[in-house]
Every structure is written in C-alpha cells, then in structure tokens.
C-alpha cells in the first residue's frame, strides 16, 4: 500500500466576485468605445471596482460573432415514401476564452431488409463545460459513440444474437426494429422504451467512470510494489490527458430521434435544457404552438434534485450538502461529468495532486470543505421518452392536428436570458417568415403559444420585463437567431455593448451559449405535387 508520506497541498483561495454588478456606459464623445465597471484585484490583494474602456464592435463585427461556428445541415432521415427531410442548425457564442461549450451530432443509417425499410436514427448533443473546456471537448468526441455502442450491446444482450445482428449497425437495426425483437425479449412498447433508456443511462455512467478513474489507472500502472512512495507523474504523457477532464466538468444534453418509430428520447445531465415546439392546427389552417419542456434544470435549487441529494447522504449532512442552491456551496449543476473534486474522497484527491500536480507549482483547488461522503455529483442522466406525431405527405390519410415541428437543445447560457416560451415563439416566428424588428408585446398575437409541460426552474430568475424591448428577425440560421435575441434582439446598441465585453470580464454578463435546433420539412417533390 502507498504510505501517507505527504502533506495536503493548499490551493490558492479565489476571491468570490458577485455575478451581478452595474454596467456603466460612459457618455464618451467617441462612439467607438464604451466603459463598464469591473472588479479587479489590486497590488495589495484586495478587490476594487474600477472603470475600464473597451472598443465597441461594429454592427458587421457583431453579425460575424453571432454564431461563431454556424452549422446548417439537412439530414435525410426518412424513407422517400414518407416525404420528410429533417434539418438542423447549430450556432454558438463564446464568453470564456477558449469557449467551454461543445456540441456533436450523428446520423446512424440502417439498410432496408425484407421486413424493415431503410431508416435513420438521429443523435444531437450540447455540452456545457465549467472549470475548463477539457471535459466538454472530450464528451463531444466520445458520448454519442458510447451511447451507440451501448445500444448495440443492449440489443445483443436482450434479444439474443442472430445472423442479422453481427455488427453495431445491425444490432441497432435489431434494437429499433418496428417488429418484435424475438421471443426472448419483451416486445412491448414499454419494454422497448426501458431498454433504450437504460442503455443511454449506462453509457453516460460508463463514460464518466472512465473520465473520473483515468488518473487512478495511470497512477496504479506506475507504482512499484517494492517502493511505496508516491511517484512524480507530472511529466507522464498521460498526466494532462487524464487529470484535466477529471478535474474540469461538463453538463451534457442529448436527444435521440427515431422518426420512423415516432420516438424521442432526451437525456439530461446538468442544467442545459431541451424544449419542443408542437404545432396544433385548427380547422382553418391556423394554429398555435404548444411549449413542451422536456428536461428539468438539475441544480440545488430544483426541489427534486435537492431531495435526491439529501437522501443519498447521512442526515447529519442535510444542512450542508446544498448551500445557496449549490452543491456543498460551490458547484451549481447537481449532475455533471468530471468534477472529481465532488467525487473523489479527500485523501485520494490529496494523493493524486501529489502525484500529478505538486511538482509543477500550479495552484490547485482543495477539496470542498464539506466533503465527507462522496460522490455528491453524478453523471447519470434523467432520460425521458415521448411519442410524437408527424404528417405523411405521401399518404392519403389526414394530417394530425398536433405534431412535433421542432426541437431546441441549448446550454444554460441561452436559458439565463430567454424563457422556454420566448424560444418557441421566436423559432415559430422564424419559420413563419417574420422579418425585421418586432416589439415583444406584439409577438404573442403574431405567434400564439400555449403552455404544455411547465419548466422546472433550477436557476435564479434574472430576466427583466418580457414585454419591454423588441425582437429581431434577421438571421437565416435559426440557432443564431436565438442567440441574437438572447442578448439584445432589436436593441442593437445593447447587443453591440454586451458582445463587445472581452473575456474574462464578459463572463459576468453572459455565459458561453450553444444552440441546436432540429426540425422537419416536406421534401421538394411532395411540395410540387401538392401544388398540382
């Protein structure tokens, strides 16, 4: 065993700065600059409020910044006979430098068989990193493949292998088949949904297990049985690659769409949010948008999460596991990947810091003061399932009066500024072809919405009067359209100032934001037929 021949390493104590403070816009005669009050540490170590001037971005530069990495892609996800094409856009706006957000998407296509038509399974995910970008970037590469692999393995375990289930792709086809899987498997809808949901949960947990235990594997592989001293692994080739994703953290939100089966699965770890826009059509062709919130904000302010966390720890910790709405008074999301400070025992943290970090001289954060019975944070997602309706333009059957039209996945930087109702109305207005500047008070009449599932608010309410100001409908990319309206919309002066604040000061005014919007359209040939 390793002997305890070390002393705890004390981390530098960060000075807490309030997230809300007054934005002072100077009456400068030079219209190309503006000033804000910021808090900075002085030579004496104390924090002072000082005024700093920054260049004001031009309107063109702001337009270029909105959606720094715009993605707009069609995805053929239906058989031609169904006449629908699924599309998606993604856009993001950074506040941190580099950004701590990430995203990923994938389409798994299956070939037609004698009993099943060709089909596609659609995967979309957004990751909201914190304390660095390492965890979120890693998840953007491995999370969806891990879920695909687990779905494949689940199909083989539950349904038994067969000549048609010899590969990952075939196993997925086998699992998502619309026919009964086999006499060994529960072919009911309830059994199918639970199998898929459990596979997603297991994949999330397995990925986090690998992230959090990566440094332990490196340490174990470099310990000599004859030498019980703690080795210096700071220069080991896997030191940074294993420690950084474990110490930083990330929320993750993933949607899995099976259009042929009309199944939507949403897996949420953390406080990103998924919202669906359901079009409910009236007899005269008009209609309203129903707002369906598909996730809960998982933070200490969510009563459901607070109760869960307290139930997982001794009663003596009930008053301290959540302080000021945060886990042990520090971390806001109650579920996350990485964040090993909330998962490793205190002695293990000290041991790993000694092995990987101490000799580098880098400042490290000590274990949370209330850490007694970890883990306090888990990566297990809440997985929800919804059946949805879709029209079939190639069929003579009447269109459903209520159908899923679009899905929005976004990191919490968007939801800090916009409500779920705002987002559905803005996307609905975008699809309706609204253009220019529209007052917030008039949009409800132009794009009427109704409330479906209420949002379980896990964040402090910071939005102002929703009826004041105006929205802007100027972006072709619907995801960029949401980002623009989150930070000013039709108020170009406000938008330019907010987006001009550089890092790290910008973090007090806006978070990193990543938005993915998924929707369907009728194939062109079906539109042509409808006109004839």
pLDDT attached to residue 157? 62
What is the domain partition of the chain in residue ranges? 33-392+399-531
* Pairing mode, strands 287-293 and 449-451: parallel
Highest average pLDDT, of 116-120, 168-172, 238-242, 390-394, comes from 238-242
Helices within 260-419 (DSSP H only): 303-311, 346-356, 412-415
pLDDT attached to residue 252? 98
3-state secondary structure (DSSP) of residue 495: helix
In whole angstroms, give the CA distance from residue 521 to residue 87.
8
Take residue 176 and report the two structure tokens written for it: 């998502």
Q: Please give the biggest Cα pair distance in the chain.
A: 84
pLDDT per residue as tens digits for the range 201-228: 999 999 999 999 999 999 999 987 667 7
In whole angstroms, give the CA distance from residue 70 to residue 516.
10
pLDDT grade, residue 452 (50/70/90)?
confident
Q: Which residue has the higher pLDDT, 264 or 156?
A: 264
Helices within 335-463 (DSSP H only): 346-356, 412-415, 420-431, 443-446
The answer, yes or no, to whether residue 181 has pLDDT greater than 60, is no
Q: Quickly list DSSP for 404-419.
A: EEEEEEE-HHHHTT--
Mean pLDDT is lowest, of 149-158, 246-255, 293-302, 353-362, for 149-158
pLDDT attached to residue 73? 65
In whole angstroms, give the CA distance from residue 92 to residue 127.
11
Mean pLDDT is lowest, of 18-27, 29-38, 276-285, for 18-27
Query: In this structure, how many other beta carbons lie within 10 angstroms of the beta carbon of residue 262?
Result: 15
Take residue 69 and report the two structure tokens written for it: 């990495």
* Residue the block writes with tokens 């929707």: 519
pLDDT attached to residue 75? 55
- Tell me whether residue 31 is exposed, middle or buried, using C-beta atoms within 10 angstroms of its C-beta: 0 to 12, 13 to 18, 19 or more: exposed
The answer, yes or no, to whether residue 170 has pLDDT greater than 70, is no
The answer, yes or no, to whether residue 10 has pLDDT greater than 50, is no
Q: Which residue has the higher pLDDT, 174 or 372?
A: 372
| Whether the Cβ atoms of residue 485 and residue 518 lie closer than 8 Å to each other | no
pLDDT attached to residue 47? 86
Q: Which of 22, 15, 133, 100 lies closest to 508 in space, CA to CA?
A: 22
Q: What integer is the mean pLDDT of 311-315?
A: 96
Query: In this structure, how many other beta carbons lie within 10 angstroms of the beta carbon of residue 527?
Result: 12
The answer, yes or no, to whether residue 249 has pLDDT greater than 70, is yes
In whole angstroms, give the CA distance from residue 337 to residue 249.
5
pLDDT attached to residue 318? 93
pLDDT attached to residue 517? 97
Distance of CA 443 to the CA centre of its chain: 27
Q: How far is CA 84 from CA 310, 401, 523, in A?
A: 47, 17, 5
Write the CB contacts of 451 (distance below 8 Å, at least 6 apart in sequence): 290, 291, 421
The chain-wide mean pLDDT, for the chain, equals 84
The pTM assigned to this predicted structure is: 0.86
Mean pLDDT is lowest, of 56-70, 183-197, 384-398, for 183-197
Mean pLDDT is lowest, of 66-75, 291-300, 435-444, for 66-75
In whole angstroms, give the CA distance from residue 251 to residue 6.
34
CATH fold group of domain 33-392+399-531: Phosphatase 2c; domain 1 (3.60.40)
pLDDT attached to residue 113? 62
Q: What integer is the mean pLDDT of 347-374?
A: 93
Q: Which of 134, 440, 451, 423 lies closest to 272 in space, CA to CA?
A: 423
pLDDT grade, residue 387 (50/70/90)?
very high
Angle between helices 346-356 and 239-247 (to 10 degrees): 150
pLDDT attached to residue 368? 94
| Whether the Cβ atoms of residue 243 and residue 352 lie closer than 8 Å to each other | yes
pLDDT grade, residue 296 (50/70/90)?
very high
């Amino acid at each position: 065993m390793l002997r305890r021949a070390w002393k705890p390493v004390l981390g530098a104590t960060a000075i807490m700065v309030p997230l809300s403070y007054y934005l002072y816009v100077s009456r400068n005669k030079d219209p190309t600059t503006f000033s804000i009050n910021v808090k900075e540490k002085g030579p004496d170590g104390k924090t002072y409020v000082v005024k700093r001037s920054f260049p004001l971005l031009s309107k063109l530069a702001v337009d270029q910044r909105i959606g720094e990495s715009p993605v707009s892609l069609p995805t053929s996800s239906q058989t031609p006979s169904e006449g629908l094409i699924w599309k998606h856009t993604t856009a993001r706006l950074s506040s941190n430098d580099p950004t701590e957000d990430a995203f990923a998407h994938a389409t798994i296509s299956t070939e037609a068989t004698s009993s099943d038509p060709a089909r596609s399974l659609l995967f979309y995910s957004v990751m909201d990193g914190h304390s660095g970008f390492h965890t979120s970037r890693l998840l953007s590469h491995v999370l969806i493949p891990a879920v695909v692999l687990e779905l494949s393995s689940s199909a083989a375990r539950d349904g038994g292998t067969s000549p048609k289930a010899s590969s990952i792709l075939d196993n997925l086809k086998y699992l998502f088949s619309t026919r009964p899987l086999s006499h060994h498997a529960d072919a009911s809808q309830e059994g199918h949904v639970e199998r898929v949901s459990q596979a997603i949960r297991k994949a999330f947990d397995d990925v986090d297990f690998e992230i959090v235990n990566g440094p332990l594997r490196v340490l174990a592989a470099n310990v000599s049985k004859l030498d019980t001293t703690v080795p210096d692994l700071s220069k080991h080739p896997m030191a940074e690659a294993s420690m950084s994703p474990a110490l930083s953290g990330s929320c993750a939100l993933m949607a899995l769409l099976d259009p042929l089966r009309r199944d939507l699965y949403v897996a949420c770890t953390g406080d990103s949010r998924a919202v669906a826009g359901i079009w409910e059509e009236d007899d005269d062709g008009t209609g309203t948008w129903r707002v369906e919130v598909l996730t809960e904000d998982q933070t200490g302010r969510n009563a459901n999460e607070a109760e869960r966390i307290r139930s997982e720890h001794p009663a003596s910790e009930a008053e301290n596991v959540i302080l000021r709405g945060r886990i042990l008074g520090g971390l806001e999301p109650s579920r996350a990947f990485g964040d090993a400070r909330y998962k490793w025992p205190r002695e293990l943290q000290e041991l790993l810091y000694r092995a990987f970090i101490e000799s580098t001289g880098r400042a490290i954060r000590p274990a949370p003061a209330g850490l007694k019975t970890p883990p306090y944070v888990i990566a297990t997602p809440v997985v929800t399932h919804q059946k949805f309706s879709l029209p079939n333009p190639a069929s003579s059957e009447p269109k459903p009066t209520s159908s899923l039209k679009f899905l929005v996945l976004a990191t919490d930087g968007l939801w800090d500024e916009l409500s779920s109702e705002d987002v559905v109305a803005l996307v609905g207005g975008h699809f309706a072809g609204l253009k220019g500047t529209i007052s917030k008070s008039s949009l409800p009449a132009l794009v009427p919405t109704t409330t479906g599932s209420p949002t379980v608010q896990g964040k402090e309410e910071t939005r102002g009067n929703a009826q004041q100001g105006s929205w802007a409908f100027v972006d072709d990319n619907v995801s960029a359209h949401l980002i623009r309206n989150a930070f000013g919309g039709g108020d170009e002066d406000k938008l330019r100032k907010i987006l001009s604040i550089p890092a790290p000061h910008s973090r007090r005014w806006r978070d990193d934001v990543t938005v993915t919007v998924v929707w369907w359209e009728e194939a062109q040939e079906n539109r042509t037929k409808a006109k004839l």
